[in-house]
């Protein structure tokens, strides 16, 4: 059984609980993430949650959907593709459809073999990696909505899976930028939301180390904050270059938000 599936469900519920009591006008409001509206965020999450379920269940429609999505991406029309796929499903109807779909994904993945190989838009991945990616996306895109509404986020220790993604994509963050991958990852000492201390590569990072809030580390590797807008202590050239361009998600190289452009209202 996959604990990450329950974490994904709980993260989805946290976002639902934030939006459920809001006035319906909230869905048309623009966030600080590329001008996406709340409707845009929910539509994006709903589509790719559906895709995760489809690939887990070997649904033939998965291949058709991904081919159409990749074609739209090459044309710079991904937002239009996602909007058209669920044309007419917006506002509270989209909120409820997204939440129901997220619970369905969580139930299915909770019972899945963690090592089952699944097709995706990029390389195949394990079921564990697939549901962890859904958790990460929900948390990262949800940040834009928490920011928009000016609500301090109460993260939980389930973000440890996102920290793992950040650690595991250390090399990818340099590779996708066309840079040589450093031989050694910096050491990490991060404080979890619960107050626990999480460490990686302790004593092996040489002069390169990163310490501070695990939540802020997640914000940097998911590109929801510029490193300069956090209180993370970053020491060493490799550590600074990593945090300046960290990218824990697949796809083409993306630039972190400029300093001060992502913040809580």
pLDDT band at 204 (very low <50, low <70, confident <90, very high): confident
Check if the beta carbon of residue 91 is closer than 8 Å to that of residue 39.
yes
Which residues 6+ apart lie within 8 Å of 124 measured at CB? Answer: 117, 118
Which residues 6+ apart lie within 8 Å of 222 measured at CB? Answer: 136, 139, 140, 143, 162, 166, 248, 249
- Measure the CA–CA gap between 226 and 208, rounded to whole angstroms: 19
Domains with residue ranges and CATH for the chain: 3-154 (1.20.120.450), 160-245 (3.30.1050)
Tell me the pTM.
0.96
Check if the beta carbon of residue 52 is closer than 8 Å to that of residue 110.
no
Q: Mean pLDDT of all residues in the chain?
A: 96
pLDDT band at 88 (very low <50, low <70, confident <90, very high): confident
pLDDT band at 222 (very low <50, low <70, confident <90, very high): very high
Express each pLDDT in 241-261 by its tens digit: 999 999 999 888 999 999 999
Express each pLDDT in 173-187 by its tens digit: 999 999 999 999 999
């Amino acid at each position: 059984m996959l604990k990450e599936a329950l974490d994904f469900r709980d993260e989805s519920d946290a976002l639902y609980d934030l939006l459920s009591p809001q006035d319906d006008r909230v869905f048309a409001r623009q966030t600080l993430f590329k001008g996406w509206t709340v409707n845009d965020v929910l539509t994006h999450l709903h589509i790719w949650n559906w895709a995760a379920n489809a690939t887990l269940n070997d649904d033939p429609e998965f291949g058709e959907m991904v081919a159409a999505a990749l074609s739209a991406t090459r044309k710079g029309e991904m937002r239009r593709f996602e909007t058209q796929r669920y044309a007419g499903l917006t506002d509270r109807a989209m909120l409820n459809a997204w939440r129901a779909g997220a619970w369905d994904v969580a139930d299915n993945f909770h019972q899945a073999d963690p090592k089952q190989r699944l097709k995706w838009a990029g390389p195949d991945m394990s079921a564990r990696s697939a549901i962890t990616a859904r958790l990460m996306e929900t948390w990262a895109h949800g940040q834009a909505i928490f920011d928009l509404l000016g609500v301090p986020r109460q993260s939980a220790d389930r973000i440890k899976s996102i920290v793992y993604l950040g650690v595991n994509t250390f090399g990818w963050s340099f590779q996708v930028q066309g840079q040589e991958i450093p031989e050694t990852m910096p050491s990490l000492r991060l404080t979890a939301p619960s107050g626990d201390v999480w460490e990686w590569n302790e004593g092996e990072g040489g002069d390169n180390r990163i310490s501070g809030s695990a939540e802020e580390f997640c914000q940097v590797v998911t590109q929801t904050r510029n490193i300069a807008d956090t209180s993370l202590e970053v020491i060493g050239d490799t550590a600074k270059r990593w945090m300046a361009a960290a990218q824990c998600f697949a796809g083409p190289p993306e630039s972190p938000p400029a300093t001060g452009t992502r913040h809580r209202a």
